Structure 1
Amino acid sequence: MASQKTTARSIDPLTLEVVELIGTVVARYYEEYEEAAAEHALTGAQARLLSLLSLEPLPMRRLAQKLKCEPSNVTGIVDRLEARGLVERRPDPSDRRVKLAAATQEGRQLARSLRDSLDFAREPLAGLSREERLALRGLLLRMLGADAGA
């Protein structure tokens, strides 16, 4: 019985290689993301928050959940982005007690510029056919437990 536990916990070489490759991809992405953010005089956390807000206004608590950090950290990040004119606070139309953070026009333009400067993911993916990108998306969604048809 003890040998079954040991066997179940060991990782086969192919799985280990895939895990290492995923780690390398993630590390490269974050490295380039931090560099791109710095070129726009942003920290990585500021860039991620601005990127989220360029899609839609969000309550501060939801931003904290998405960024996996404390709400007080989000408040500080929003304060700094607001001081630069990239973000504004506004009341939530459905509940005026809740404050939404929203990207300003300048913030959305900066977020777009930041996305456009991220070549790491775009260039290697451009070398894949549409079918290969669809297959990769499906596999990643499956790994995350999401519906591959989404």
Structure 2
Amino acid sequence: MTAVTDSPGHTESTPYLLIRLASTVDQLFADTARTHGLTAQQAHLICRLVGGPVQMAALGRQLGLEKSGLSGLVDRVERHGLVERVRDSCDRRMWWVRLTGQGQKTAHATHEEVMAGLEALTADLGPAEADLLKAVLERLLTDAPGDAAR
């Protein structure tokens, strides 16, 4: 597989532009996380919990982490007082991760700031361009391998 580089001929290719867009979103997450005393990965974790508790195995899949990596990440966010682990009431072998009260405040603030940054990124698009971008992104993400948002 050929690497996409900054060399002439690649800088305007669709794959290169997708990489730049992914890097821009990653940087937005990192900058927002830093304002809350978190790493980008910790911010991703708490934002995944905004909709409610998530089972540990599912959270690992969403974040693309193995069990040990996820446990360490949850440990660190737990030490910040933002999440807690809760045993499943039906299957004591399963654990859920949920936001604490402080975690809810931080997660919602982080999520809103990231969303505002993304809105700003697309603010200059007209309605037709915004609709087209949304349609193209939805098509690209439909059944995308490794789509962690599912």
With the length of structure 1 as denominator, give the TM-score of the two structures. 0.78
Match of 2:94, SS state, is strand
Alpha-carbon displacement from aligned partner over 1:31-78 (angstroms, at most 9, x marks no partner): 121121112111111111111012221111111111111111111111
AA at the equivalent of 2:18: I
1:135 aligns to what?
A: 132
Q: Distance in 2 between matches of 1:128 and 1:93?
A: 48
Displacement, 1:116?
A: 2.7
Kept in 2, the 8 Å contact 1:54–1:107? The answer is no
Q: Distance in 2 between matches of 1:145 and 1:40?
A: 32
1:124 to 107, 121, 125: 121
CA RMSD across the alignment: 2.2
Structure 1 stretches (4+) deviating beyond 6 angstroms?
A: none
Aligned pairs (5 A) from 1:1-150:
17-118=13-114, 119-146=116-143
Higher helix share: 1
For structure 2, list consecutive stretches of 5 or more residues without a partner in the other structure.
1-8, 144-150
Q: Distance in 2 between matches of 1:88 and 1:73?
A: 16
Give aligned pairs, total: 134
Displacement, 1:94?
A: 4.1
Q: Which has the larger radius of gyration?
A: 1
Q: Distance in 2 between matches of 1:67 and 1:133?
A: 28
Report sequence identity in percent.
Answer: 29
Q: Distance in 1 between matches of 2:126 and 2:88?
A: 43
For structure 1, list consecutive stretches of 5 or more residues without a partner in the other structure.
1-12
2:5 aligns to what?
A: none
